[in-house]
């Protein structure tokens, strides 16, 4: 389990950078993968401040546990996160929810060796 704040941030970044094109995961799934299942809000905070465009960070692939684009305000416009996901072939319906969430969902605990 990682305890240092900077180490947690780097662990989150490492996982986010491995999310495949056309897939998405949740804040909670990332929190579980780094050994802190109760820190999903911290993962969200890290994503909202990561400056994804300048850091080559696919933060748009991280949403809440229901597949809702809850972090979209961090992208500068209400539609940018949706636009980025749709450019990867992910369908977002009118309530800012990923369609077929269970199919699109990528679980880092099952997909990568941590």
At 2 the pLDDT is: 64
Q: Which domains can be identified in the chain, with CATH numbers? A: 5-111 (1.10.10.10)
As a whole number of angstroms, the distance between CA 31 and CA 42 comes to 8
Write the pLDDT tens digit of every residue in 8-64: 999 999 999 999 999 999 999 999 999 999 999 999 999 998 876 667 899 999 999
Of 3-17, 48-62, 67-81, 82-96, minimum mean pLDDT range = 48-62
pLDDT value at position 108? 97
What is the Cα 18 distance to its own chain's centre? 11
Question: What is the overall mean pLDDT for the chain?
Answer: 92
- Can you read off the two tokens belonging to residue 106? 């990528």
């Amino acid at each position: 389990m990682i305890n240092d704040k900077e180490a947690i941030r780097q662990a989150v970044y490492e996982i986010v950078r491995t999310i495949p094109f056309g897939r998405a995961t949740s804040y909670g799934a990332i929190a579980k993968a780094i050994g802190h299942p109760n820190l999903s809000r911290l993962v969200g905070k890290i994503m909202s401040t990561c400056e994804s465009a300048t850091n080559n960070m696919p933060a748009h692939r991280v949403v809440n546990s229901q597949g809702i684009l809850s972090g979209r305000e961090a992208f500068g416009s209400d539609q940018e996160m949706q636009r980025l996901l749709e450019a990867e072939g992910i369908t977002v319906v009118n309530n800012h929810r990923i369609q077929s969430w269970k199919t699109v969902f990528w679980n880092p605990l099952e997909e990568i060796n941590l």
